[in-house]
Homo-oligomer: A and B are copies of this chain.
Amino acid sequence: MRRIKLIVAYDGTHYAGYQVQPNGNTIQAEIESVLARMHRHPVKIIASGRTDARVHALGQVIHFDTTLEMPAERFVKALNAMLPDDILVKQAEEMDDTFHARYGAKRKEYRYHIRQTEDPFRRHYAATVTYKLSLEAMRQAMERLIGTHDFTSFSVTKAEVEDRVRTIYEAEVLEMGDEIIFRFVGSGFLYNQVRIMVGTVIEVGRGKYQPADITQMLEAKDRRVAGITAPPHGLYLWNVNYEKVD
């Protein structure tokens, strides 16, 4: 069996999320169904992590083991020919069998797009925030998220993970055209963490909280002290890195 790594982009608008579940179509189900047709037997895929309904990916990474003899690169065309056009395999590569899309991930980048005016063409791809926002206050808030922290205040209460300490290496606010982008690079993120951080930073931007409040929120380790959860459709899993961070 050879292990294949895929880099996959998808428009999450019409999916119930990444992971297979009883009701609703998922990215995982679409890819596994095409792989099963190619292999004539079920093939299980492992992703770097789940994405929620309506969340997008530019660089989701998955792996699977194949019995097929064809060169790894050939999977790109073969899969794209059968996948729906809102899922695109961008790259396929043969890895040794120690590669693991989930446990090997060293760093993930997420981006979140917001815009200040309605645009029918961006309705599935950026959240609209019509409040007047201070970029400077949001930049200061983002800086306070950088570092190794217990992110309990920025994760869903029901999450059963014990260890909620994560490291954020980069957190910045970018402007592109008429959109504002929140960019995070971290060791990994808790369930809903990026959306809660973005929702809270936006509330700093409109003056409900001060940038310094972020530090107190981190220390409180209580979901109720942080801000709202930003909606899913502005969020993109941008890329996943498997090399050790220096």
Contacts and interface: CB of A to CB of B under 8 A. Distances in A.
Interface of A: 9-11, 56, 80, 85-88, 118-121, 123, 125
A143 to B, nearest CB: 30
A18 to B, nearest CB: 14
Given A9-B121, A86-B120, A87-B120, 6 more contacts: A9-B119, A9-B120, A11-B120, A11-B121, A85-B120, A86-B123
Contacts of A121: 9, 11, 56, 125
Given A88-B118, A118-B88, A11 B80 contact: no
A121 B113 CA distance: 14
A45 B123 CA distance: 25
B125 A88 contact: no
A80 B130 CA distance: 14
A88 B118 CA distance: 8
B56 A123 contact: no
A112 B95 CA distance: 41
A86 B122 CA distance: 9
